[in-house]
Amino acid sequence: MTTWTGQAQILADDIREPGFTAAEVNASAWCARVDPEATRGLIGAAMALTSNDAGKALWAAATPCPDDASLLAAVTELEGALAQLMEVARKLAAGCRADFEAAMRQAQHARALMASDDDATRAEGAALLAEAQRVLGDCEAALEILDETGTRLAHALNCLRKVPDDLASTYEEPYQLVHDGGQLPHHGEFLTGVVWEAA
């Protein structure tokens, strides 16, 4: 059975993948000449999830994002993936805390046994205490990793949730033009004339 620390480390590694995906989405948007102000959330998420390792991927060569709807769909998909990882982190932390509390009770019981005059009872207490201390150390290390991972996930989710507003404010005038019935140029540019309605 994988230790709590092992499970926490696996999760910490797992969050890197959506981080690099966020960087790829950003690169695709930049290749479509999207204003970087509109993708600040993607940049923040990518850097948080990869511990700043996604820097070069942010501006890598990529297929240009075809339009705003595609960008927003990619961001929504990323949000869903991060929400699932947050739930995994929550369940791991809950299970780990439960084991931690049980180990604390076991350690208390073990110390009581070790106060006995009987050698066998003291030996049983020592064995129980050693096991409890192993679990406590494992849980403490795991919870530290899970706390950091959860913080990074929450920050990345907040960053992604800002993308629609950043996009709307960055392209406020073009969106208003389309909303008012005007036409945008159609020369393979990012904004293709599709009206994006704020939620």
Maximum distance among all Cα pairs of the chain, rounded to whole angstroms: 91
Query: Residue 190 carries which DSSP code?
Result: S
Residue 195 falls within a domain, yes or no?
no
The pLDDT score that the predictor gives to residue 40 is 96
State the total domains in the chain: 1
Q: Which residues of 69-97 are buried (b: 16+ CB within 10 A; e: fewer)?
A: ebbeebbeebbebbeebbebbeebbeebe
**pLDDT at position 46, please?**
98
Q: What is the pLDDT of residue 22?
A: 98
CB 10 within 8 A of CB 88: no
pLDDT confidence of residue 177: 72
Residue 173 has a pLDDT of 81
Residue 142 near residue 4 (C-beta atoms within 8 A): yes
In a domain? residue 45: yes
Calpha distance 108→106 (Å, rounded): 5
Does the residue 188 lie in any domain?
Answer: no
- Residue at 198 is within a domain: no
**pLDDT at position 189, please?**
57
Q: Is 197 contained in some domain?
A: no
> Is 184 a domain residue?
no
The answer to whether 198 and 168 are in contact (CB under 8 A) is yes
Could you tell me if 34 and 129 are in contact, meaning their C-beta atoms sit under 8 angstroms apart? no
Q: 126 phi and psi, to 5 degrees?
A: -65, -40
Identify whether 192 is part of a domain: no
Give me the domain span that covers residue 173: 4-179
Phi, psi of 133 (to 5 degrees): -65, -35
pLDDT tens for the 199 residues of the chain, in order: 589 999 999 999 999 999 999 999 999 999 988 999 999 999 999 999 999 999 999 999 999 888 888 999 999 999 999 999 999 999 999 999 999 999 999 999 999 999 999 999 999 999 999 999 999 999 999 999 999 999 999 999 999 999 999 999 988 887 777 677 666 655 445 665 444 444 3
Residue at 41 is within a domain: yes
Please name which of 125, 128, 149 lies closest in space to residue 4, comparing C-alpha atoms.
149
